[in-house]
Structure 1
Amino acid sequence: MRDYQTATGIINAAGKVDIKRTVVSPRYYLSGAAFLVGFKGDRSLLVQIHQALKTPHWPPCKYPGKTNHSLLEIFRHT
């Protein structure tokens, strides 16, 4: 997926801030990818990670036509 950000008041090559100049910065993001992460360590830390995954501060993004697969499936058997 391609997106962009804009920045105004950037520092130019001479090291001075140019308030009137706006720069467009293209960004590319992965979409439709799946990742597997393994955790190893102290049990109390793993419990904290498990709780954080069960109740995220920000919910996963939902895009039309896409399905969100929960990482919590790997913790259901612990």
Structure 2
Amino acid sequence: MTIVLVALAVFVLNIPFGYLRSKHKKFSFMWWLYIHIPVPFVVLLRIYSDIGFAFYTYPILIGAFFAGQLIGRLYFPIKCKK
């Protein structure tokens, strides 16, 4: 049950970052930052929730990470700056 709650938190945390990432040109510095800023929060969630760093947790949390980024980008589309 804990892994499900952590995955849900990771998913929700990444939605605004996916939205912000869609506002910037691909592979720009800000685009790169909006992908990598949530990573320390995901690591802290892993530590404080006691799920640890077991191998089976990686696909679940990476999937939640990228799904949150994707939902933020798709449901709040803004054209890139040129």
Q: Under a length normalisation based on structure 2, what TM-score does the superposition of the two structures give? A: 0.29
Q: Which one has the bigger strand percentage?
A: 1
Bigger radius of gyration among the two: 1
Q: Higher RCO, 1 or 2 (CA under 8 Å, sep at least 6)?
A: 2
Q: Which one has the bigger helix percentage?
A: 2
